[in-house]
Amino acid sequence: MTNTARVLEVLMTGEELTAKQIGARFKIANARATISALRSEGYAIYLNEHKDTKGRVTNKYRIGKPSRKVIAAGYKALGAEAYTR
């Protein structure tokens, strides 16, 4: 199983991961490239800002469901030719 697939598997369970956690847990040097690769495969992965009880801010990746606007933008980008088949 590839590291990208392992990251996806963990995200699919609902767990949220920071870039540092991805790097340490899966021995990945560039977490952003891994997330970008998953996004290019069609997975809706979001980066959300979190504050802990001490006010420290971290950014965590999570998998989610794309909004209707995002889906509509994708269909618009494909154009009418995609639906004439």
The answer to whether the CB of 35 falls within 8 A of the CB of 16 is: no
Question: Which structural domain range is residue 46 located in?
Answer: 3-83
Q: What is the CATH number of the domain that holds 27?
A: 1.10.10
13-47 pLDDT per residue, tens: 999 999 999 999 999 999 999 999 999 998 999 99
SS3 39: helix
Q: What's the pTM value of the predicted model, to 2 decimals?
A: 0.78
Strands, E, within 2-69: which ranges? 45-51, 57-63
The structural domain count of the chain equals 1
Give the whole-angstrom CA distance, residue 13 versus residue 57: 23
- The overall average pLDDT reported for the chain is 90
Token representation of residue 17: 């991961």
